[in-house]
Amino acid sequence: MNEDIFFIGSFFFTAIVLGIGIPLVRAYMRRKDAEPSAATLAQEQRLMRMEQALESMAIEIERISEGQRFVTKLLAEREQPVRSLPSHDAR
């Protein structure tokens, strides 16, 4: 009889602990995940700096390529034969 009461009591105690404990643990974990940690903030700042650096590099590379296209165009025009004015002997 005492064993039956012990098992029934331990069953209900376990059910109550699990019924209350699981939601508490879930709430704690959600709150923990919602708070940004110092490491997360540092990583975000670092990623922002990297993003800005990459954008700056992309702009500079675009300027370099635009200059290269311009120089290539000038050199291509230079290689074409220049039409000279008629000489005085042709009259």
How many domains is the chain built from? 2
What is the C-alpha separation between 85 and 79, in angstroms, rounded?
Answer: 18
Residues 6+ apart with CB under 8 A from 44: 36
pLDDT at 51 (0 to 100)? 97
Q: What is the distance of C-alpha 55 from the center of its chain?
A: 12
32-77 pLDDT, tens digit each: 877 777 778 889 999 999 999 999 999 999 999 999 999 999 988 8
Domain assignment present for residue 86? The answer is no
pLDDT at 52 (0 to 100)? 97
Residues 61 and 43 in one domain: yes
Full domain range(s) for residue 64:
38-78
Domain assignment present for residue 20? The answer is yes
Q: The whole model's pTM is what?
A: 0.46
Of 78, 60, 82, the residue nearest 70 (C-alpha): 78
**Left (φ > 0), alpha (ψ -120 to 50) or beta: where does 85 sit?**
beta
23-33 pLDDT, tens digit each: 999 999 988 87
Residues 1 and 31 in one domain: yes
Domain assignment present for residue 72? The answer is yes
